Amino acid sequence: MHGFPLFCIFALTNKTMRIDIITVLPELIEGFLNESILGRAQRKGLVEIHLHNLRDYTTNKWRRVDDYPFGGFAGMVMQCEPIDRCISALTAERHYDEIIFTSPDGEQFTQPMANTLSLCENLIILCGHYKGIDYRIREHLITKEVSIGDYVLTGGELAAAVMADAIVRIIPGAIGDEQSALSDSFQDNLLAAPVYTRPAEYKGWKVPDILLSGNEAKIKEWELSQSIERTKRLRPDLIQKIDK
């Protein structure tokens, strides 16, 4: 039921994916990227995640990456040169499917976008800071601008970590059972059905009988009906997308 064609595409692609993240604060997300499912996916050779400290690409002795904005506005803006030098160094080595800039005014990050990006071979994710980056980088080097939601963060690192997590966990082999990733919320625009584990009764709170029945067909039917009911109740906007 869930995402069968997507799984077929996955099965055909078995190259190691590479994600290069450019940031002024690599230490902010280094731990996150090397733990749990992302860490395991890297150790299994399913993905390589490289962090690049933008300050390594500066040419001034203070390793400064920002300057005052033209026009007398408040705040600081990340300069073109270090970003251009870093991206050029990476693109000289290999072709990138997308050069992504994390930005609150970008396209909203969604599960379908994560699915599409997980099929890419090489991705760059550039994290902004301060007031943002010199717009000329966005005009000339960036191929995709992505927001993780309608709020403003202090930097793009959390956005890059969110994207890397959502992208990597659906690479086949990253989590034990691919079917499990494909039955998560938002695949097929449906929210996931509730899940339960042992004991079957806790403080008098019971697991639905059907899940203990061993009747696989009936359980599948229950799972789908729960997904539809929860989506209609909690996210009617998603149901409208299915109807279209």
Does residue 69 touch ligand SAH according to CB under 6 A? no
Smallest separation, CB 200 to ligand SAH (Å): 42
Of the candidate residues 3, 26, 82, 156, the single one contacting ligand SAH (CB under 6 A): 156
Interacting positions 118-147 with ligand SAH (CB under 6 A)? 127-129, 131-132, 147
Smallest separation, CB 151 to ligand SAH (Å): 6
With vertex at residue 35, the alpha carbon angle to CA 30 and CA 38, rounded to the nearest 5 degrees, is 90
Smallest separation, CB 140 to ligand SAH (Å): 17
| Inter-residue contact 144 to 105 (CB < 8 Å) | no
- Beta-sheet strands, E only, within the chain: 17-23, 47-53, 66-67, 77-78, 98-108, 122-126, 144-147, 201-202, 205-206
State the Rg of the chain over Cα.
21
Does residue 105 touch ligand SAH according to CB under 6 A? yes
Does residue 152 touch ligand SAH according to CB under 6 A? yes
Nearer Cβ to ligand SAH, position 84 or 207?
84
Smallest separation, CB 221 to ligand SAH (Å): 39
Smallest separation, CB 32 to ligand SAH (Å): 16
The 3-state secondary structure of 108-174 reads: ECCHHHHHHHHCCCEEEEECCECCCECHHHHHHCCCEEEECCCCCCCECHHHHHHHHHHHHCCCCCC
Using CB under 6 A as the criterion, which residues of the chain lie in contact with ligand SAH when the complex forms? Answer: 102-105, 127-129, 131-132, 147-149, 151-153, 155-156, 159
